[in-house]
């Protein structure tokens, strides 16, 4: 079967601008990209992409699908549809499920259910330690054999340095990354907001920046000693940025990610005791926001992820002290970043697209994220001129926990294609 996507606009790095192109897809693979002219589409299915950006599908290497165990918040069916609405075609799900993704059986459960019910590519990340308790390492080799693409105890930091060092040795031997949630538990207990203007104004205990940076500093030294690929989750502080930049400068194999909310929002934006502004890491100070923006721009931070973290409305309604950490992110990520950084002229469109497509593919060795002949036909069509107000009631996620309600954003996906097949299309 042949599909032509005609008259779309693609980003041309050499020109530094958008150019009109026609994309031919056969059997789920891009087989040609023609610029200008009129392609021969006789006998083929055709999608007219006039006025739309055509991008390689977005890749999100840090998401929570809550399946198994917490399917009232999200499941693989709803989560992948939410991802597709946001333009994502490949997502990597974290292991803090119930049961924890710490056995080959749970990895296979995720892959099998994604094949049956999912609409985008799902890559399971397995736990570093059994039950994410930090006491005993999982069977890395068996988890890789089952289909895990890396190891993380996301949601909690590995507190024991020897445990983390041994994990890095095993991961290096298998050629897979350690994907680290960096948090020293002794510095964060009893707090939900960063040490900054909001915590001082309201007399709250704050989460200090060093709670994250201490683990980053420890782990880059362990990565240097072991030669492992060490990937830092959701970087949020100026101190973490400095340590990652230094580690890269001396050749440590470290990569890093940042979330849209840590690039756009600070603790000074928090309107009050609203649990939809409670996330981990917390929103940091404006100085930290500028540090992570600059780190993304200069390559210290490699990629953008959402850390899509759905929670049921009744859970978030418990108030800031009892509500769980986390916000949803799939369906607002690109419009939020496009509006904040590309429309204002700080970033080129090409820069944003790379950080959401080819760069995640490079960091994790994926055969995705490229708009070229021979690449998978995982594509996102976006109306850059479309302006909409964020309305959680319209989300395809089961959950609505976002601090962006009512925000006016531009650049919304209108069609998502996986392996040449449309898996979501705007009404």
Selection from 350, 347, 341, 339 nearest residue 389 by Cα: 339
Residue 383 marked as a ligand binder: no
Selection from 360, 334, 323 nearest residue 62 by Cα: 360
Distance CA 3, CA 420 (A): 7
Distance CA 46, CA 39 (A): 11
Residue 229 marked as a ligand binder: no
Known catalytic residues are 307
Beta-carbon contacts of residue 306 (< 8 Å; ≥ 6 apart): 60, 62, 63, 86, 259, 260, 329, 330, 333
Residue 108 marked as a ligand binder: no
Residue 234 marked as a ligand binder: yes
Residue 62 marked as a ligand binder: yes
CA distances from 355 to 146, 284, 299, 301 (A): 29, 22, 10, 9
Residue 181 marked as a ligand binder: yes
Residue 395 marked as a ligand binder: no
Selection from 111, 105, 100 nearest residue 149 by Cα: 111
Residue 262 marked as a ligand binder: no
Q: Count the alpha carbons within 13 Å of 388 in the hemisphere toward its beta carbon.
A: 19
Residue 378 marked as a ligand binder: no
| 3-state secondary structure string across 236-247 | CCHHHHHHHHHH
Q: Count the alpha carbons within 13 Å of 118 in the hemisphere toward its beta carbon.
A: 26
- Strand 88-93, strand 121-124: pairing: parallel
Distance CA 161, CA 134 (A): 10
**What would the two tokens of residue 350 be?**
């090409």
Residue 96 marked as a ligand binder: yes
Burial 324-334 (b: 16+ CB within 10 A, else e): bebbbbbbbbb
Residue 346 marked as a ligand binder: no
Residue 215 marked as a ligand binder: no
Distance CA 177, CA 296 (A): 20
Distance CA 44, CA 22 (A): 13
Spacing of C-alpha 308 from chain mean position: 7
The DSSP secondary structure of 21-90, one letter per residue, reads: EEEEEETTEEEEEEESS----TTSEEEE-TT-EEEEPEEEEEE---TTT-TTT--HHHHHHHHHHTTEEE
Q: Are 166 and 240 within 8 A, CB to CB?
A: no
Residue 66 marked as a ligand binder: yes
Please report, in range form, the residues annotated as the binding site for Zn(2+). 62, 64, 154, 181, 234, 307
Please report, in range form, the residues annotated as the binding site for substrate. 64-66, 96, 280, 311, 325-326
């Amino acid at each position: 079967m042949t599909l032509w996507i005609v008259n779309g606009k693609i980003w041309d790095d050499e020109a530094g601008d958008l150019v009109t192109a026609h994309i031919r897809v056969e059997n789920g693979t891009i087989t040609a990209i023609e610029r200008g002219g009129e392609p021969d589409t006789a006998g083929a299915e055709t999608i007219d992409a006039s006025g739309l950006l055509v991008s390689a599908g977005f890749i999100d290497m840090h998401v929570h699908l809550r399946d198994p165990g917490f399917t009232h918040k999200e499941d693989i069916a709803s989560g992948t549809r939410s991802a597709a609405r946001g333009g994502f075609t490949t997502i990597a799900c974290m292991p803090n499920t119930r049961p924890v993704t710490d056995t080959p059986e749970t990895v296979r459960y995720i892959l099998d259910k994604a094949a049956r019910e999912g609409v985008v590519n799902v890559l399971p990340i397995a736990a570093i330690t059994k039950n994410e308790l930090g006491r005993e390492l999982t069977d890395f080799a068996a988890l890789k054999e089952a289909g895990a693409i890396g190891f993380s105890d996301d949601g909690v930091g590995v507190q024991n340095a020897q445990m983390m060092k041994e994990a890095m040795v095993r991961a290096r031997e298998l050629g897979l990354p350690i994907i680290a949630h960096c948090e020293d538990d002794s510095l964060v207990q009893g707090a939900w907001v960063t040490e900054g203007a909001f915590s001082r104004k309201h007399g709250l205990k704050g989460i200090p920046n060093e709670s994250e940076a201490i683990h980053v500093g420890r782990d880059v030294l362990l990565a240097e000693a072991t030669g492992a690929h060490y990937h830092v989750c959701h970087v949020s502080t100026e101190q973490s940025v400095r340590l990652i930049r230094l580690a890269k400068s001396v050749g440590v194999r470290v990569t890093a990610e940042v979330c849209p909310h840590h690039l756009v929002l600070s603790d000074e934006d928090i309107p009050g005791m609203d649990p939809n502004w409670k996330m981990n890491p917390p929103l940091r100070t404006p100085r930290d926001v500028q540090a992570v923006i600059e780190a993304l721009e200069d390559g210290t931070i490699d990629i953008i992820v959402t850390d899509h973290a759905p929670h049921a409305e009744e859970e978030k309604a418990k108030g800031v002290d009892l509500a769980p950490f986390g916000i949803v992110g799939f369906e607002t990520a690109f419009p939020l970043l496009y509006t904040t950084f590309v429309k204002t002229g700080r970033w080129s469109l090409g820069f944003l697209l790379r950080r959401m497509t080819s760069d995640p593919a490079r960091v994790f060795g994926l055969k995705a994220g490229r708009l070229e002949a021979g690449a998978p036909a995982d594509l996102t069509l976006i109306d850059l001129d479309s302006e909409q107000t964020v309305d959680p009631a319209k989300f395809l996620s089961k959950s609505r926990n976002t601090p962006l309600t009512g925000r006016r954003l531009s650049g919304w996906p209108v069609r998502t294609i996986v392996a040449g097949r449309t898996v979501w299309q705007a009404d």
